[in-house]
């Protein structure tokens, strides 16, 4: 039933060899460029236009968009459907899979379907408990946990087999992600849990919101000492706080998000709290970028999605690079943002 922790060497990070079979997010990460992903909130709607309108905000600014899977245990359009709609337009998406709502039979079927629909990246999550969402009376499934989910999906891809052992005729070529929360206890266990996730198949990591830099640095130092930084790409999560009141609300009601007192104090003291929230976010991105082993950032701008391009721009993390966009359009900012040759190749690759 168990396997001792061995971190496979195959998850070391050489440049992707088979570029034709590799998604854009993976290629950006493997090429050593600073990657940007952003969280796309799914609509409470059956209208595909709402999905496209939301994605339009991010197009040309991010390397991949995460479509959440019933985040906060609230009902929304499904992640697989959102990603499929976006993949049809050529967008790079990260499909989030939570273990809360589906068992191993449903999830494995979804993974095959997702790959068939052109989805390249999966983020394997445990998921929030049902009690925090809009259907607290629902049955929590949790047939798998994030680690056994990673292990099963890696098996689909690498062993060409379901968890039952039954073989596939064609394996899903997916880039496997997992989450980490360095900001919740037990702190000393968190780097070991990261090691377990890598051993189970995680290739990239997106973290919970980072507002506490020293805590994150400590986590990264421990991860480095365990030799994990060469074995996965780490994208810390960031996001703008809308106001001091929002920050206080998050502190009280969102488990796992840690906002230190000095961040709250700074917001309270600001004349324009919303702008200050963005400034804090931009400074955080710039500081995170300097940390060894940080391969990019994951921006979660809940209800402030429209500010994401500005945050990325002002943080200066893309340099002259412009991520792929369905329709090349004039840069929205005065700064020189020329598509680099790499991005052009990506564009061609997907239109083949």
Q: How far is CA 328 from the centre of its chain?
A: 24
Q: Does 313 bind another protein (CB under 8 A)?
A: no
Number of residues in the chain: 352
Of the candidates 3, 9, 341, 351, which one interacts with another protein according to CB under 8 A? 3
Cα angle for residues 220, 11, 64 (degrees, 5° grid): 75
Query: Nearest approach, Cβ of 145 to another protein (angstroms)?
Result: 5
Helix (H, G, I), strand (E, B) or coil at 161: strand
Nearest alpha-carbon partner for 317 in 305, 327, 309, 326:
309
Please say which residue, 92 or 151, places its beta carbon nearer to another protein.
151
Of the candidates 84, 144, 153, 235, which one interacts with another protein according to CB under 8 A? 144
Q: Does 255 bind another protein (CB under 8 A)?
A: yes
Of the candidates 152, 285, 317, 322, which one interacts with another protein according to CB under 8 A? 152
Of the candidates 14, 165, 185, 214, which one interacts with another protein according to CB under 8 A? 185
Query: Nearest approach, Cβ of 214 to another protein (angstroms)?
Result: 15
Q: CA 317 → CA 65, 180, 283, 298, 311, distances in Å?
A: 17, 22, 11, 12, 10
Please say which residue, 96 or 273, places its beta carbon nearer to another protein.
96
Segment contacting another protein by CB under 8 A, of 29-37, 174-182, 216-224, 295-303: 174-182
How many C-beta neighbours within 10 Å does residue 289 have?
A: 16
Count of residues near another protein by CB under 8 A: 43
Cβ contact 210:216 at 8 Å: yes
Q: Does 302 bind another protein (CB under 8 A)?
A: no
Q: Does 111 bind another protein (CB under 8 A)?
A: no
**In the range 186-215, which residues lie near another protein by CB under 8 A?**
186, 188-189, 192-193, 195-196, 199-200, 208
Of the candidates 11, 78, 126, 286, which one interacts with another protein according to CB under 8 A? 126
Which value, in Å, is the radius of gyration of the alpha carbons in the chain?
19
Task: Provide CB contacts within 8 A for 334, sequence distance 6+.
Answer: none
Q: How many CA atoms lie within 13 A of 196 on its CB side?
A: 15
Q: Does 231 bind another protein (CB under 8 A)?
A: no
Cβ contact 146:181 at 8 Å: no
**In the range 9-28, which residues lie near another protein by CB under 8 A?**
none
Strand partners, 176: 122
Q: Does 140 bind another protein (CB under 8 A)?
A: yes
Alpha helices (H) along 295-340: 308-315
| Residue 250: its H or E element | helix 244-253
Query: Nearest approach, Cβ of 97 to another protein (angstroms)?
Result: 14
Residues that bind another protein (CB under 8 A): 1-5, 99-100, 104, 126-129, 131-132, 140, 142-148, 151-152, 163, 179-181, 184-186, 188-189, 192-193, 195-196, 199-200, 208, 255-256, 258
């Amino acid at each position: 039933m168990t396997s001792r922790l061995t971190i496979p060497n195959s998850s070391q990070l050489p440049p992707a060899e088979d570029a034709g079979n590799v998604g854009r997010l993976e290629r950006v990460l493997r090429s050593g460029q600073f990657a940007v992903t952003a969280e796309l909130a799914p609509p409470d709607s059956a209208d595909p236009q709402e999905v496209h309108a939301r994605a339009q905000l991010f197009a040309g600014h991010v390397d991949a968009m995460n479509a959440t899977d019933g985040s906060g245990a609230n009902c929304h359009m499904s992640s697989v459907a959102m990603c499929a709609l976006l993949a049809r337009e050529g967008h790079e998406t990260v499909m989030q899979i939570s273990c809360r709502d589906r068992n191993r039979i449903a999830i494995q079927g979804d993974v095959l379907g997702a790959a068939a629909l052109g989805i390249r990246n999966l983020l394997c999550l445990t998921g929030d408990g049902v009690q925090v969402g809009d259907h607290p009376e629902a049955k929590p499934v949790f047939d798998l946990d994030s680690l056994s989910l990673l292990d099963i999906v890696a098996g689909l891809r690498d062993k060409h087999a379901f968890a039952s052992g039954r073989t596939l005729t064609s394996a899903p070529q997916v880039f496997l992600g997992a989450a980490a929360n360095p900001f919740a206890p037990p702190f000393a266990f968190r780097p070991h849990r990261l090691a377990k996730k890598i051993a189970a198949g995680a290739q990239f990591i997106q973290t919970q919101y980072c507002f506490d830099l020293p805590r994150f640095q400590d986590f990264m130092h421990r991860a480095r000492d365990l030799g994990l930084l060469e074995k996965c790409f780490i994208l810390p999560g960031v996001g703008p706080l809308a106001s001091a009141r929002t920050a206080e609300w998050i502190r009280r009601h969102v488990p796992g998000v840690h906002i230190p007192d000095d961040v709250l104090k700074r917001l309270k003291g600001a004349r324009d709290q919303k702008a200050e929230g963005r400034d804090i976010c931009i400074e955080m991105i710039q500081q995170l970028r300097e940390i060894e082993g940080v391969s990019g950032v994951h921006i979660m701008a809940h209800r402030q999605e429209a500010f994401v391009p500005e945050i990325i721009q002002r943080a200066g993390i893309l340099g002259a690079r412009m991520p792929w966009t369905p329709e090349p359009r004039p840069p929205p900012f005065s700064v020189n943002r020329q598509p680099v040759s790499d991005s052009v190749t990506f564009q061609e690759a997907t239109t083949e």
